[in-house]
Amino acid sequence: MAVKRYYAKSDNTITNAFEENLTTRGTGSNMGASDILEVFSIYGQANSSSAEESKALLKFNATASTNSISADRTAGTIPASGSVSFYLRMFNAEHGQTLPKDFTMDVSAITGSWDEGTGLDMEAYKDKDDSNWTNRLPATAWATAGGDYYTDTSSSFSASFDNGTEDIELDITTLVEQWVNSAGNVLGSKNDEGVGVFLSSTYSGESRSYYTKKFFARGTEFFFKKPYIEARWDSATKDDRGTFYFSSSLATAAENLNTLYFYNYFRGQLRNIPAVGTGNIYLSIYSGSAADTAPYGSALTLVADGTHVAAGSPTVVTGGYVSTGIYSASFAATGTLTTLYDVWHNNGATQFHTGTIKPKTLDGSAIAPDTTHASNITNLKSVYRDDETARFRVYTRQKDWSPTIYTKATAQAEVNIVESGSYEIYRVVDDLKVVPYGTGSTLHTQMSFDASGSYFDLDMKMLEKGYMYGIKLAFYNNSVGSWVEQPETFKFRVESRQSE
């Protein structure tokens, strides 16, 4: 799973706008229970130089003991600092009032605690509660009217709007890491008090109005429009067991490396090997017996690269810990054998596992290939629970595979391992992209692969129950240098446990 969402737990709109009499300002008003957040700047409404503003406040579950970014990091659900990005997502709410264009908003960390409040009135500003323009808590004022915010570059960000209808999708990783302040964070710490969203001073200080930009708040009825922080990371495990190549002069030294994985399951759960823990694990490669059913003889000499295989010990690969119960090792091998056996061990003391490898030889081509694929999710269910995380297994073969009557009866098409594959999730009823392809810098929807094909995990809590969803796949085609979407669509419903 490489996408996880943390929804706002508090939000509010605060303003110093004039009430209907254009004399009294609504600085004590609160809109914490509204399903809309509003940001504006109004100039010259009460008199030729009057200025009015509104700002949005949001707080997320970053550091709570459960169901938070911090708790999930401790549990290993999301990676360590430096291996994950965090994006603020807020969604445009259409309205019939004047919409500003060509402006920027600041998103800045709030310095102190504040209350959401229970107000609803966004027109006459008659609901009074905390927080508001003057107070952050009951009888506790902001140091500066309109809120107190950090302005350093690691805690303050900018979002641009050309047409005014855009959503906010903003990388706030440096701020989230300060909130969580776990191992690896080098930016220091800040209290987890959320962010303020408001017009940049360049625009709020102009002698013109920017009225009005609205976003959906956490109380909206639209499930996918609620504000949240989205954690994104590349979780793809690329196990070369099914695409193992002997070293070739056609490839670079790095390209000749093959990475194998060892998964230590105990009664269905991944567990660290007691004798290894999170330390090094070792791997040796053997040829087969006369019947080619088991390792035989002495360990084979491998390509010494000084990193994975030392020149002084060319029969041993030094591998390492990946995550709970998962270990990997990388090496290059030469030869012409049809079968290799990988034996995982504790530096010769204890053997943990023996696997099988069917190596391939890298060949050049006289033509530019144009490979197309046919795909299927082999374990797809019609219904999933809204509280589960599901693993989807993707089988892929070459589309032009055309068996004869004989081969239909005696063989299956070979699994074609796609090393760069991505998935997208959309809601069928309206084609809303719930999890768009993450094929940019973070590759957060990149699929893993092993000898059986590709796979990915999906947290069903991100999907609204009672609807049907579709999965689309895209593979990177090196021949044309772009991602190519597959024609197949795979559909399923999400329901609560009670309605299954």
Could you tell me the pLDDT band of residue 410, with boundaries at 50, 70 and 90? very low
Could you tell me the pLDDT band of residue 368, with boundaries at 50, 70 and 90? confident
- Give the CA diameter of the chain: 96
pLDDT score for 497: 79
Quick: pLDDT tens for 258-278: 999 999 999 999 999 999 999
Contact, 178 vs 185, CB < 8 A? yes
Is the model's pLDDT at 413 over the cut of 70?
no
User: Is the pTM of the predicted complex or chain greater than 0.95?
Assistant: no
Pairwise CA distance, residues 445 & 234, whole Å: 7
Could you tell me the pLDDT band of residue 183, with boundaries at 50, 70 and 90? confident
Q: How many CB atoms lie within 10 A of CB 23?
A: 8
Is the model's pLDDT at 234 over the cut of 60?
yes
Is the model's pLDDT at 377 over the cut of 90?
yes
Region 471-499 average pLDDT = 90
What share of the chain in percent tops pLDDT 70? Answer: 96
Structure tokens at 383: 């219904």
Is the model's pLDDT at 495 over the cut of 90?
yes
Q: How many CB atoms lie within 10 A of CB 273?
A: 20
pLDDT score for 402: 60
pLDDT score for 102: 97
Could you tell me the pLDDT band of residue 478, with boundaries at 50, 70 and 90? confident
Pairwise CA distance, residues 32 & 392, whole Å: 40
The continuous run of DSSP H or E covering 384 comes out as strand 383-385
In sequence order, what E strands does 218-268 have?
228-232, 258-263, 265-266
> Across all residues in the chain, what is the average pLDDT?
94
Region 463-475 average pLDDT = 97
* CA atoms in the 13 A half-sphere facing the CB of 71: 9
Is the model's pLDDT at 444 over the cut of 60?
yes
Region 401-425 average pLDDT = 72
Quick: pLDDT tens for 328-339: 999 999 999 999
pLDDT score for 398: 83
For the chain, the domains span 3-232, 240-357, 373-499
Structure tokens at 317: 């690969």
Is the model's pLDDT at 247 over the cut of 60?
yes
Could you tell me the pLDDT band of residue 367, with boundaries at 50, 70 and 90? confident
Could you tell me the pLDDT band of residue 115, with boundaries at 50, 70 and 90? very high
Cα angle for residues 327, 333, 334 (degrees, 5° grid): 170
3-state secondary structure of 385: strand
Q: Which CATH fold would you assign to the domain 373-499?
A: Immunoglobulin-like (2.60.40)
Pairwise CA distance, residues 334 & 339, whole Å: 12
Three-class secondary structure assignment of 416-429: CCCCCEEEEEEECC
Quick: pLDDT tens for 56-109: 999 999 999 999 999 999 998 999 999 999 999 999 999 999 999 999 999 999
